[in-house]
Amino acid sequence: MQPEITEQLSSWDEAIDKIISKINKESRKILIQSGHFSVLFNEKGKLVPAIREEIMDSRLKEFVENSDYMSDFPFTTFKQGMCLASILKKSKEVRFVFIVNDWQWVNKGLYSSKVNRREFFKSQILPETYRNIFEAYSFESKDIITANHYAESGIYFSEHKLKKSNKKKVSNCSPNSCAVEYIPFLNEILNQYDGFVSFIPMACKIPILYSAIDYIKSQNKRIDIFHIFYDPFNKKIELSFLNQDNISQDYIETINNKLHIMELLSQ
């Protein structure tokens, strides 16, 4: 029988409990990706995180609240990632990685300006609302993987640079766009880890699963990969658990077919 790979959950507590119960007892080093956010311009022409809780401009806050996956996705998933990490660190080595969508919303918000990603990335600090939680759980900057190859500098991986690093070029409106950036991301960050937990917008589910399968198939070591897919508008949560033992050929073909259908519908 095909093991359960993706399941719908009723709460964040259930998501955390499921991960704790499923994670390989032999795993020693766990990496967590949470708090994923976009950047857009504020009224002063400065690129800022599209985190609802960070924005003072009421019009921009409303725009973020009502735009695709942004809404409460960044702050909610960051909090849940920290909660999970606080439990795992009792028995595992836990570190964090942050990835920024620095292409999709840069000039699609209320304001526009000349794009200068370097200024944003050189800050090398978490947004204040994130930093407060991060420090409250007694984590430090040394617990964050820095993006040496794909950002100008600092603690964020740039989706813009990840896309450019992949030889496969696709339209930004294609569902394959997520897969194109996620594959080099996994290849860069997971060499030294045997567990990975990643909080992902529900809209990216199929291309992200495709990328994770591609990565796992290329490895000769066991790695447990958990994805928590979250839709901030209907509050739907799904958990996906992948490793070398539970990926069947039938499941691979199912994901490939779904991605192909998404690609056709986007044309």
Under CATH, to which class is 6-36+71-101+145-266 assigned? alpha beta
Strands 29-33 and 47-49: unpaired
Separation CA 61–CA 2 (nearest Å): 44
CB 204 within 8 A of CB 178: yes
Does pTM top 0.85 for this prediction?
Answer: yes
Start-end of H helices in the chain: 12-22, 58-65, 73-88, 117-121, 128-136, 159-165, 176-189, 205-217, 249-266
pLDDT (tens digit, 9 = 90+) per residue, 79-106?
999 999 999 999 999 999 999 999 988 9
**What is the signed CA dihedral for 241, 243, 246, 249, rounded to 10 degrees?**
110
The residues that bridge with 240 in the sheet, in sequence order, are 6, 227
- Of 70-84, 132-146, 147-161, 252-266, the range with the lowest mean pLDDT is 147-161
The residues that bridge with 64 in the sheet, in sequence order, are none
pLDDT band at 1 (very low <50, low <70, confident <90, very high): very low
pLDDT (tens digit, 9 = 90+) per residue, 23-54?
988 889 999 999 999 999 999 999 999 999 99
**Residue, of 118 and 231, whose pLDDT is higher:** 231
Angle between helices 249-266 and 176-189 (to 10 degrees): 130
Question: What is the DSSP code string of 241-252?
Answer: EE-TTT--HHHH
